[in-house]
Amino acid sequence: MAARSKTLMEFLQQPAAKRTKRVSSPPPLSTRTLSDAASTSTSLSANSLEQKARMEFNRALAFSRRNLKLCTDKVSRSTAAGGVGYVKLEELLVENTWLEVLPGEFQKPYAKKLCEFVESETCNSSSPIYPPQHLIFNALNTTPFDRVKVVIIGQDPYHGPGQAMGLSFSVPEGIKVPSSLLNIYKELQQDLGCSIPSNGNLERWAVQGVLLLNAVLTVRQHQANSHAKKGWEQFTDAVIGAISQKGKGVVFLLWGNYAQAKSRLIDESKHYVLKSAHPSGLSAHRGFFGCRHFSRTNQILEKMGLHPIDWQL
């Protein structure tokens, strides 16, 4: 005969230890296990951020290449039509974000005179004009207004054959690195431990949001400053003014007296201005070397929650 079931009263009268089914708790996680988990989480987070930055870079690069192709095609069509290959300046600025923050700039009297001057120089001058037409607005077409994090201001384009590419301090691959740019590389090595590249193409910086802006955007071969005071300064001042007024938290790197004079256009209550001597061979030892502008720029960007610039080329 089966044993009868215990009544509720009899069950409750048992010692508590017998009534309760003991469930063993899982062993505590070791410090090493917790550390490994945290390390894995941090690693995944870092990889995710790096992957996101890489995707953003590739998108921006593709967009800048599209803009470059638009300009190249316009010049090619003009040449194929039997002309001298001249395209009006306003047609070569194809990046819409700049057209939106500089409305009507090309219709102003000074800009019309500038356009006439550049057209005359391109079509009638016995000396070549640099950079090539499709690269005149390369800085703006490569770095959209809404992606500008840093501005590096130069004076006018390199005037030797094949040097100018529309980005301040930058030269195409295959062209000897100018002394000023080599000094920039030396400071980068001292500041951030970057290795010195074999070429002078700074496009990678521009795509990340570094606006490499010369104050004057064209020049005659072997004649430095030959296109100065023709209207370009007013145009690029308008660019700087638009960044100052409509942007926020941009880092301006002003190297040398010429660039530092542009600080009058910048609202320093909204932006960051770092000044030093120019990186040229004549002045780099007077304050450019040791300025640490590249690491300081990244510290500022990270403090604002922005991805830092990868300065290594």
Determine, yes or no, domain membership for 5.
Answer: no
* Domain assignment of residue 3, yes or no: no
> Is pLDDT above 50 for 8?
no
Q: What is the CATH number of the domain that holds 202?
A: 3.40.470.10
Tens of pLDDT along 107-164?
999 999 999 999 999 999 889 999 999 999 999 999 999 999 999 999 999 999 999 9
Q: Which of 146, 156, 191, 267 is catalytic?
A: 156
In a domain, residue 190? The reply is: yes
Range scoring the smallest mean pLDDT among 70-74, 76-80, 90-94, 194-198:
76-80
pLDDT recorded at residue 201: 98
pTM of the model: 0.85
In-domain check, residue 60: yes
Specify whether 156 is catalytic: yes
Other C-beta atoms closer than 10 Å to the C-beta of 179 total 13
DSSP 176-193: PPPHHHHHHHHHHHHHH-
Quote the domain boundaries for residue 130: 53-304
CA–CA separation, 114 and 240 (whole Å): 18
- Secondary-structure breakdown of the chain: helix, strand, coil percentages, each rounded to the nearest 5: 50, 10, 40
Query: pLDDT tens digits for 204-252?
Result: 999 999 999 999 999 999 999 999 999 999 999 999 999 999 999 999 9
Contact assessment for residue 71 and residue 141, using Cβ atoms and an 8 Å cutoff: yes
Domain count, the chain: 1
